Amino acid sequence: MDMRTRVSTALKDAMKSKDAARLSTLRLINAAIKDKDIAQRGESEGDTGGVSDAEVLAILGKMVKQRQESARAYEEGGRLDLAERERDEIAVIEEFLPKQLSDDEVRAAVDKAIRKTDANSIRDMGRVMGALKAQYTGQMDFGRVGPMVKERLA
């Protein structure tokens, strides 16, 4: 089942069960996917058929990161109720993301990508990151992986 279908099925289930918090988050996910569809339609003349599953995973990953930052800001501001709501949204969004890789698995994936792309220097970092993003979208935080790749290539 593709990501778009999984989200719409979960949306219908949330409507039936009258789970307002979950429904709200799923509607936000749906809106973000539709926004990306519209943006793509404007960029290309041909009918692309919508965003791919990889792009949906990227959207979801971005949504999680935004909510983590918001939760942190709310905690610093003493608004624990709002921080808790952000964490609840993160839990709903993460249901659609693949399992996150452990630190050891990330290191192994980075080493494998470096070997696969025959990377020797920092100039090859883009190729390595591209290979990782193609294979592990949604499974690792590329903000943390970038410095790791840089360190290994230095």
Neighbour tally for 65: CB within 10 Å: 13
What domains sit in the chain, N to C, each tagged with a CATH number?
A: 3-94 (1.10.1510.10), 103-153 (1.10.10.410)
Dist CA 16 CA 50 (whole Å): 27
* Residue type at 50 in one-letter notation: G
Residue of 100, 89, 94, 91 lying closest to 142 (CA atoms): 100
Whether the full predicted model's pTM is greater than 0.85, yes or no, is no
Mean per-residue pLDDT over the chain, rounded: 88
pLDDT digits 0-9 by tens, 70-84: 999 999 999 999 999
What pLDDT was estimated at residue 57? Answer: 85
What pLDDT was estimated at residue 69? Answer: 94
Under the banding of pLDDT at 50, 70 and 90, the label for residue 47 is low
∠68-138-119 over CA atoms, to 5°?
115
